[in-house]
Amino acid sequence: MSDETLLSLAGVRRSFDSGRIVALDGVDLSIRSGESVALVGRSGSGKSCLVAIATGLDRPDSGAVFWQGRAISSRREWAALRRKSIGIVFQEFHLLPTLSAQQNVELALMGGRTGQAEQRRAAAAALERVGLAHRRDNLPSEMSGGERQRVAIARALVRDPLILFADEPTGNLDSANAEKVAALLLDLQRERGVSLVMVTHDAELAERCQRIVRLSDGRIVEDCRVRGDAA
């Protein structure tokens, strides 16, 4: 892990219903290159809102998000960042049902500069990394929840992001599959030096990250280091 700050939020506020619901209430948070961060807090505390704003899928009412020190605001800048540098994994997988695992992963590379043969190769390599080389031609409906989530991780991974956000990636999985997915995400963080920001309700899983950030009523109420660089 380096000291370089990749992504930071400064004074981020987000409300709904003309201000009646305050989801984020002045959040300051910096994510360093290569670190693993668990984002925890009760249901409704603002975790998903924070992920949406940190990935540019939603905009704050006030405050700003910085990427490597530069404020990001336009739709175009955000799209470019999500294409190149930011991967996102959701609880519900969000795979396209009519496409095979291989095609779902390839789709993440379309529209970029990668040629078709290279897209195919990169998608196959990403699926192999998540242990699904043998399931490349299967549809999501033919796979278990854990396998689907691993396809979604391969899809996030295939563009070689610098930071990976995962919003309750194990929330829909049984304990055996949850463990596989959690171990995979933490391995990827270590082996590729990618930053991992993982929302979780699982205290044990949170303890396996290097840092725990706790939200309560839209504010950060705790930010502690669990373990050092040796993690």
The b-or-e profile of 34-64 (16+ CB within 10 A means b, else e) is: bbbbbbbbeeebbbbbbbbbbbbeeebeebe
- Residue 43 near which of ligand ATP, Mg ion, none (CB within 5-8 Å, type-dependent): ligand ATP
Q: Which residue number, 44 or 131, has a Cβ lying nearer to ligand ATP?
A: 44
Is 104 a residue that touches Mg ion (CB under 5 A)?
no
Q: Which residue number, 46 or 140, has a Cβ lying nearer to ligand ATP?
A: 46
Two tokens, residue 36:
């693993």
Asked if 163 contacts 86 with a C-beta cutoff of 8 angstroms, the reply is yes
Residue (of 110, 106, 6, 23) closest to 58 by Cα position: 23
What minimum distance in Å lies between the beta carbon of 176 and ligand ATP?
23
The b-or-e profile of 74-92 (16+ CB within 10 A means b, else e) is: eeeebeebbeebbbbbbbe
Mark the segment that binds ligand ATP (CB under 6 A) among 16-24, 28-36, 75-83, 103-111. Answer: 16-24
Of residues 8-67, those binding Mg ion (CB under 5 A): 47-48
Question: How many Cβ atoms sit within 10 Å of the Cβ of residue 177?
Answer: 18
What minimum distance in Å lies between the beta carbon of 19 and ligand ATP?
11
Residue (of 115, 120, 109) closest to 157 by Cα position: 109
Of residues 41-70, those binding ligand ATP (CB under 6 A): 41, 43-49
Of residues 25-44, those binding ligand ATP (CB under 6 A): 41, 43-44
- Residue 3 near which of ligand ATP, Mg ion, none (CB within 5-8 Å, type-dependent): none
Q: Which residue number, 34 or 46, has a Cβ lying nearer to ligand ATP?
A: 46
What are the Cα distances from residue 131, in Å, to 157, 185, 197?
A: 13, 13, 22
Is 23 a residue that touches ligand ATP (CB under 6 A)?
yes
Residue numbers at the binding site for Mg ion (CB under 5 A): 47-48
